[in-house]
Structure 1
Amino acid sequence: MLKLLLLLVVVVVAAAVAFVVTLQVTEFNPPAVEGLVVSHAPTTNIDPVELESGVSIKIMTWNLGYASLSETEDFVMDGGVKGRMDSLEEVEANIAGITDTLIDTAADIYFLQEVDEGSDRSYQTMQYTTYADLLSRPTVFGINYRCLFVPFPFDLKQMMGKVESGIATFSKFSDIETAQRIQLPGAFSWPLRLANLKRCITVVRTPIVGSDHFLVLINVHLSAYDDGTMRVQEMAALRDVMADEYDAGNFVVVGGDFNQSFPDAVTEVDGESSYHFPLKDPSYWEAFAMDGAWFSENGWQYGIDMTTPTCRLLNRPLDLVDDANNQYYLIDGFIVSPNITIESVETLDLGFHHSDHNPVVMTIHF
C-alpha cells in the first residue's frame, strides 16, 4: 500500500513538473517591437477612403470580455468562481449582440480589447475573424494572451484551457502606413507569468492627405490584477510613445481599457482617492487613480463620459433588482493629443448585457 502511495505521489509530481516545463518551452515571448500585418477582408461593405483633415471621425473603444462576461456572469479574479460561460450557445448570443452594436454604432474606427480567436474559454469561437468579416475594413490584431493551457480556476469545469486573445483595431481609412505591436514593461514572477498576459499596445499610423503627418491610433489594454506597479511602468512606456508621436507633428488618439480611474473621475482627499463611482467595499478590486500630471502639464485631453460607468465588477452576476449591489468603474475611454478637437464623447449604456464593459464612442476632428 505504501509503495502504491509513493508511486502515486511520484506520478503526480512528475506530471506537474512536465506540465510546467511544457508551459515554459511554449511560453509566448513576443519581441519588444513587432510589425503587424494589415489584413483586408476578402469582400467589403464599405468604400475605403483616404484620411483628410477637417472631417469628423467617429471612434469606438470597447472591451468585449471575450464575449463571455455578460450580465449573468461572475469571474474568479474579481471574487466570483467562474472562468468560462456554461455553453457555446451563450457565447454565440453575446457575439450576436456585440456585432449588432458594432454595426449600429457605425464608427469609422474601432478599438476592441479581449478579442478571442479559438480559445477554449470561449468555446473555440473565432471572434476576431467574425468581427473582421463583419466590419469589412483594414484591421490589425495584436496578441497579448497566448497560452497552451491556463490551469485556472482550479475547477476542471471552469478552467480556461488554451487561450489565444488580443486587441484589434479596425479603420475605414485604407492607406495605413505602418502597424506595430509594442511590448509593455513589467511581468508577473515565474511561474505565474507562464500562463499570464503579455501586455502590449498596438500603434497604427495613417497618412493625412496633403500633409507629411499621420493620425496615430494606439490601442491599449493595461494590467488589472497587479498591485499597481505594473500599471505605472506601462503608463510610463505609453507616455513615451505618445510624446514621440506628438513631437513628430502627428495627431495621436489613445483608446482602450486602462484599468485605472481617469483623473477627472477621482478626487484626492487627505491622501485618499474618492472615486466618481465610489468603491463600495474595501475588499473589492480597486481601479487605482491614473497619474494625470504629465497629461495636464502638456495639454493632453481625456475623452470620457462621466455620466455612465464603463465597467462593472464581476464578483457576482449583475443585480438587476438592487443596483446598490453592483460595483462600477470608469476605466475605459480615450486620451488625445492637444492638436485634436474632441466634439463629443458618450458611453453607451448597454446594461452590460454582452460584456462587463460598456463601449465609449468619441467624435473628433483635426
Structure 2
Amino acid sequence: MPRPLRFILLGLLISAGLLSALVYSLTWRPDAKESLPVACTGKVPSLVPGQALKVMTWNLQYLAGKRYVFWNDQAQGPDERPTLEDMAFSLDEVARVIRDEQPDIVLLQELDNGAKASDYQDQLKLLQERLTDLYPCSTQAFDWKADFVPSPHIFGSVGRQLATLSRYRIEHAERLQLPVPEANLFSRQFQPKNAVLVSYLPLSDGGQMAVLNTHLDRATKPDDTLQAQVNAVTRILDRFEARGTPWLIGGDFNLLPWASTSGSPRATHALLRRQRVAQPLGQVPDDPHQQRSQRHRPRPVADPLPQRSGPERPGSHSRLSVPQPAAQTGRGPGTARRHPAHLRPPAADRPFPAARRAVAASVGCDRPGRHSDNEGAGS
C-alpha cells in the first residue's frame, strides 16, 4: 500500500476514534434497570391498606405554557425555547394548582434539568421550593440527557425528567428502560430514552405499593416503538400482579383512544383493555354492574388526550380538569372504596399554565383479595 494512502487511512481511523470518544463523553447510556436516590425529609407516614388516595399526573412541558408552537410539536412550529418570564409564570401557576387540588401523589413529566432550552434550570428543585410543606418525599429519573445535541434546533444540552412527589414515604425507587426507536448508532446516542419511574411506597401492614410514572414515545413514524413500549409496560405490570403487589400507573401515554388522528390503535387497545383511564365527565358508567366490572385493577391516572403546545385551536383543552371525589362507601377498615372519578372544570377565572392538562383521580389502596361482589367501582 502506498505510504500516502496509509497516512490517509491512519488519519481517518484516528478521527473516527476521536469522534467516538467525543460522542461517548457527551451522551448518556442508562442501564436497563437502575436504582434511584429517594429524598424524604422529616417523619413521613406510611400508606394504610384501604385508604383513598388522590393522584395527579401532569406533563409540564418544561413550564413553557401555551404561547408557543415548538419545532418538535406536531404542528412543527417556529419556536425553539420559552422566555424566562413565561417559565416563571408557569412555575408559580403549577405550584398554585397543585396546592389548590392537594393530591397525595403527583406524577410529573417533562421537567427540565440542565437543558439549554430552559436556561439550564433545575425545574423540579424550583417547584419543590414552592411545595416543600406538602411533599416530603420525592424521586426523579431522566428520560433524555446529553451534554450536547448537534441539532440546529437544540445545539446544546438536554435534560428531561420524570418526577414523583408524595405525601407518604417512598422506600426506594428504580428506573426501568423502555424500548427506543430504531436508528443508526450515532443518532441513537442523542435520542430520548423513555423509561418508567417506579416508586415503592411501604404499607403499614408490611406490604408495599408500586407507583409507576412514565412518558411513552409519540408515534411520529410508522414503526412499532410505541407498541413495544406498551408491551414492556404490560410485562412490568404483569410482574407486579404475579407478586401480588398493588400498583398504580400514570403519565403521558401519548395514546388517543377517542381520536384517530394520531397514536397507535393497537397500542391504545393493548393498554386500555387492561386498565381504566380516569374518564371525563359524562363517560363514567351509571350502571353499578358496569362499574363493578371496572374495579379489578388499580386505576391508571393518565391524560388520555395529550395536548401539544401552542395557541388555542379546535379540540384543544384550555382548562385544568380534575376529579370531584365521590363519597366513600360504608366499609370497614381496610376496605375503603371510591366510586369512579368524575372530572370537573375549575373556576372560570383560573388561568391554564401549561400546554397539557393535568388529570387527577381518587383511587383506593386495597391489597389483593379485598374486593367483594357488592362493592362499588374501585380503583
Q: TM-score range by the shorter chain?
A: 0.7 to 0.9
**CA distance in structure 2 between the aligned counterparts of 1:17 and 1:80, rounded to whole angstroms:** 37
Could you tell me which residue of structure 1 aligns to residue 81 of structure 2? 84
Residue 304 and residue 239 in structure 1: after superposition, are their counterparts in 2 closer, same or farther (change >3 A)?
A: same
Residue 102 and residue 54 in structure 1: after superposition, are their counterparts in 2 closer, same or farther (change >3 A)?
A: same
**Which structure has the larger Rg?**
2
| Offset, 1:26 | 2.5
- Is 1:259 aligned with 2:254? yes
- Is 1:198 aligned with 2:197? no
| Offset, 1:49 | 1.9
- Percent sequence identity is 21
- Is 1:217 aligned with 2:207? no
Q: Extract unaligned runs of 5+ from structure 2.
A: 1-13, 283-302, 323-335, 367-379
Residue 328 and residue 147 in structure 1: after superposition, are their counterparts in 2 closer, same or farther (change >3 A)?
A: same
Could you tell me which residue of structure 2 aligns to residue 6 of structure 1? none
**Cα RMSD (Å) of the superposition?**
3.2
C-alpha contact (below 8 Å) 1:116/1:126 kept by paired residues = yes
The AA in structure 2 aligned to 1:222 is L
**What are the within-5 Å matches in structure 2 for residues 270-289 of structure 1?**
275=259, 279=261, 286-289=262-265
**CA distance in structure 1 between the aligned counterparts of 2:181 and 2:20, rounded to whole angstroms:** 18
**CA distance in structure 2 between the aligned counterparts of 1:116 and 1:203, rounded to whole angstroms:** 19
Residue 75 and residue 352 in structure 1: after superposition, are their counterparts in 2 closer, same or farther (change >3 A)?
A: farther
Residue 107 and residue 189 in structure 1: after superposition, are their counterparts in 2 closer, same or farther (change >3 A)?
A: same
SS in 2 for 1:140: strand
Report the TM-score when normalising by structure 2. 0.72
Matched length: 307
1:177 paired residue among 157, 171, 191:
171
Greater displacement, 20-29 / 90-99: 20-29
1:52 paired residue among 48, 52, 55:
48
Could you tell me which residue of structure 1 aligns to residue 39 of structure 2? 39
| Offset, 1:343 | 3.8
Could you tell me which residue of structure 2 aligns to residue 268 of structure 1? none
- Is 1:303 aligned with 2:278? yes
Could you tell me which residue of structure 2 aligns to residue 112 of structure 1? 108
Could you tell me which residue of structure 2 aligns to residue 64 of structure 1? 60
Residue 345 and residue 178 in structure 1: after superposition, are their counterparts in 2 closer, same or farther (change >3 A)?
A: farther
**CA distance in structure 1 between the aligned counterparts of 2:108 and 2:223, rounded to whole angstroms:** 23
Residue 258 and residue 306 in structure 1: after superposition, are their counterparts in 2 closer, same or farther (change >3 A)?
A: farther
Report the TM-score when normalising by structure 1. 0.74
The AA in structure 2 aligned to 1:292 is H
Cα-to-partner distance string for 1:120-164 (whole Å, 9 max, x where unaligned): 111122201112333332111011111112233x3xxx5362112
Cα-to-partner distance string for 1:307-365 (whole Å, 9 max, x where unaligned): 79743344xx313xxx43x5579xx99xxxxx986641537679984222100001011
Could you tell me which residue of structure 1 aligns to residue 293 of structure 2? none
Greater displacement, 141-150 / 189-198: 189-198
Q: Extract unaligned runs of 5+ from structure 1.
A: 1-13, 266-274, 280-285, 334-338
The AA in structure 2 aligned to 1:302 is V
| Offset, 1:95 | 1.3
Report the structure, 1 or 2, having the larger strand content. Answer: 1
Residue 340 and residue 82 in structure 1: after superposition, are their counterparts in 2 closer, same or farther (change >3 A)?
A: farther
The AA in structure 2 aligned to 1:145 is W
| Offset, 1:185 | 1.6
The AA in structure 2 aligned to 1:131 is L
**What are the within-5 Å matches in structure 2 for residues 102-251 of structure 1?**
102-136=98-132, 137-152=136-151, 154=152, 159=154, 161-174=156-169, 176-190=170-184, 191-210=186-205, 212-224=206-218, 225-251=220-246
